[in-house]
Structure 1
């Protein structure tokens, strides 16, 4: 009964619902080859990016690029924002990045630069993160904020300006593991001396039968990986 309940749930909620609809369209339109092949291909693609093994294959080249070092040192900890809601609540990715930065601060007693503007949300991510760190007991005089950056390229640009103003020479860069490869490339392009410290790892690596059922959160992680590849290639081609 548990398996049947899970099976029904997966296919009456997105993305399973969309896969089912596409398969129905493919069947009903099977006499029109273009409708059949486009619907079937769309259903297969949506299914693949919604299951854990494929998601992990997409993430592996990104998340395996850097690991958390047991010993790190630097002049300042830099935490990159990963999104915030207009209610003033951080997204899951931002929260994990901030928590990692906070733990490093407690261990190393180093200042923190919070980088993230309001590209989509109303409130600057950096300000939301700052208020949370203050509530956790971090001295506000040890927190610097970049509220202007709208993407990773601008993160690097504005963080470098803060480092130059404050005399920081070496930074510990904290961001999600899937995002670290692009972040490292852009930060090093500006000439900053960085030590990558990835967090928010999203690979599962161990699977069971339920790993092959389509899930919305898995599709979201696959989408993040695909977006990273697009962003990395874009900057590789444009920043020369």
Structure 2
């Protein structure tokens, strides 16, 4: 497992918040004031991350692109050359599928939406996503198989080398642009779309955003979203990762 992944899990919430609570326990006798501060920060951070209200507010700061209406789908054929779907991880060794890997829930949401767009517009499909720690099949191949088997939509291009959103864009450009694909309909979660769009535009594409999976819609929840939910912790982590990516990607790749 790459050391980068381990460090990321420890230094990003909720990992760093758990570490603060452990540090509070370790410092409780020698440095009680510092231990108290670590405990409050750790527990307070976990509580905020668990609130659906915080998730919805945070998502609205990231979800800048409006959704495409169904009436716009057929006209995409005149505005773009292809639909590109970004990988979103996988579920490994699922006995229900013969012990094979399957696209993650996030990826399946993207595939379902992309299949609808492809059926309405007639645009060809491209999937983008590499290997999981070097082990085949690639995310692109898993997504292509699902699109063909479950939705009857063949995939024309498979970009199978990328590990990050930046590489999604870079390697998709190497694959698609020599074949005349310059305008793409980009399918990913709404909160991921700003970073994804920036990367693809940096790679030379004209992008039509097709966001889905919005989290900032303000759905009805018990106690107005102030009741903690386990799912909200994961969602908060995704949103924080996305916010940091928006800040760091231009610094890392903006002048390339």
**Aligned-partner SS, 1:178:** coil
Given candidates 226, 231, 240, the residue that maps to 2:245 is 231
The answer for the alignment partner of 2:11 in structure 1 is none
Mapped to 2, the partners of 1:46 and 1:37 lie a distance apart of: 14
Unaligned runs of 5+ in 1: 1-14
Q: Does 1:202 align with 2:215?
A: yes
Q: Does 1:59 align with 2:72?
A: no
Mapped to 1, the partners of 2:228 and 2:131 lie a distance apart of: 32
The answer for the alignment partner of 1:220 in structure 2 is 234
Query: Which ranges of 4 or more aligned residues in structure 1 deviate by more than 6 Å?
Result: none
Unaligned runs of 5+ in 2: 1-13, 94-100
Contact 1:86–1:121 (Cα < 8 Å) also in 2: no
Query: 1:201-225 CA deviation, whole Å, 9 max, x = no partner?
Result: 1235133227323222101111001
Query: 1:182-235 CA deviation, whole Å, 9 max, x = no partner?
Result: 001111111111100001112351332273232221011110010011111111
* 1:155-174 matches, cutoff 5 A: 155-174=168-187
1:75 Cα deviation after fit: 1.1
The answer for the alignment partner of 1:11 in structure 2 is none
1:46 Cα deviation after fit: 0.8
1:84 Cα deviation after fit: 0.8
Contact 1:80–1:174 (Cα < 8 Å) also in 2: yes
Against the structure 1 CA distance between its residues 46 and 121, is the aligned structure 2 distance closer, same or farther, given a 3 Å change threshold?
Answer: farther
Mapped to 1, the partners of 2:86 and 2:47 lie a distance apart of: 31
Q: Taking structure 1 as the reference length, what is the TM-score of the superposition?
A: 0.82
Against the structure 1 CA distance between its residues 35 and 79, is the aligned structure 2 distance closer, same or farther, given a 3 Å change threshold?
Answer: same
Mapped to 2, the partners of 1:191 and 1:75 lie a distance apart of: 14
Task: Provide the aligned length of Structure 1 versus Structure 2.
Answer: 219
Mapped to 2, the partners of 1:119 and 1:233 lie a distance apart of: 26
Query: 1:11-31 CA deviation, whole Å, 9 max, x = no partner?
Result: xxxx9xx99xx5xx78xx598
Query: 1:123-173 CA deviation, whole Å, 9 max, x = no partner?
Result: 311111111111135354x42111101100000011112222321121100
The answer for the alignment partner of 1:154 in structure 2 is 167
Query: 1:102-134 CA deviation, whole Å, 9 max, x = no partner?
Result: 110111111100000124473311111111111
Q: Taking structure 2 as the reference length, what is the TM-score of the superposition?
A: 0.78
RMSD of equivalent CA atoms: 2.6
